[in-house]
């Protein structure tokens, strides 16, 4: 038999982030925690380590067309265990590579994007600081009609 047409249906997404991230974010992403049996200031990773779920937001700046694009994923989690590499003699802190699994959010979607200029209101600040379903959800407009009795 000959296949005439085929379409794929996504069931999840994988995103790889390469960036310099704050240590606190790195620890929360991988589930590194302080253990009360171990001295203060030491963070540990083991079989009970579970990274936190999070939203991922980014702003892509197009310097040529001056159109900024917002991208976001609301339901993310670490897709791999703790990974890192050590480079002897490096003269700067290496960027980390974090692999993220993106699951369906409350809208049944994985990924959202917007060109800022096309939005009714600029959501950049909210998008970048507190991305959640509430930030992107359409607000309900309630209309009431008044009746006058005679």
pLDDT digits (tens, 9 = 90+) for 12-26: 899 998 888 888 999
- Cβ neighbours, 10 Å, residue 5: 4
Give me the pLDDT at residue 89, please: 77
pLDDT-derived band at 84, boundaries 50, 70, 90: confident
Give me the pLDDT at residue 107, please: 96
Give me the pLDDT at residue 126, please: 94
**Nearest alpha-carbon partner for 80 in 107, 110, 101:** 101
Which of 10 and 85 is assigned the larger pLDDT? 10
Residue 30 CA to residue 54 CA, distance in Å, equals 12
| Percent with pLDDT over 90 in the chain | 57
pLDDT digits (tens, 9 = 90+) for 44-73: 999 999 999 999 999 999 888 778 999 999
Structure-derived torsion over alpha carbons of residues 98, 20, 60, 17, reported in degrees to the nearest 10? -10
Residue 6 CA to residue 115 CA, distance in Å, equals 30
Give me the pLDDT at residue 5, please: 86
Question: If you search the block for the tokens 């003699």, which residue do you land on?
Answer: 89
- Mean local confidence (pLDDT), 112-141: 91
Q: Are the C-beta atoms of 54 and 79 separated by less than 8 Å?
A: no
Give me the pLDDT at residue 133, please: 95
pTM: predicted TM-score of the whole model, two decimal places: 0.76
Residue 96 CA to residue 113 CA, distance in Å, equals 24
């Amino acid at each position: 038999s000959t296949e005439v047409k085929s379409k794929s249906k996504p069931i999840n997404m994988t995103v790889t982030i390469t960036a310099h991230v704050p240590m606190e974010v790195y620890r929360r992403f991988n589930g590194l925690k302080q253990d009360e049996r171990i001295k203060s200031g030491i963070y540990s990773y083991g079989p009970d380590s579970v990274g936190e779920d999070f939203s991922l937001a980014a702003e892509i700046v197009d310097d040529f067309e001056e159109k900024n694009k917002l991208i976001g994923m609301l339901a993310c989690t670490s897709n791999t265990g703790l990974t890192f590499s050590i480079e002897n003699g490096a003269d700067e802190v290496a960027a980390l590579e974090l692999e993220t699994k993106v699951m369906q959010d409350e809208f049944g979607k994985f990924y959202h994007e917007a060109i800022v200029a096309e939005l009714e209101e600029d959501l950049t600040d909210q998008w970048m600081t507190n991305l959640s379903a509430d930030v992107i959800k359409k607000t309900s407009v309630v209309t009431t009609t008044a009746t006058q009795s005679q």
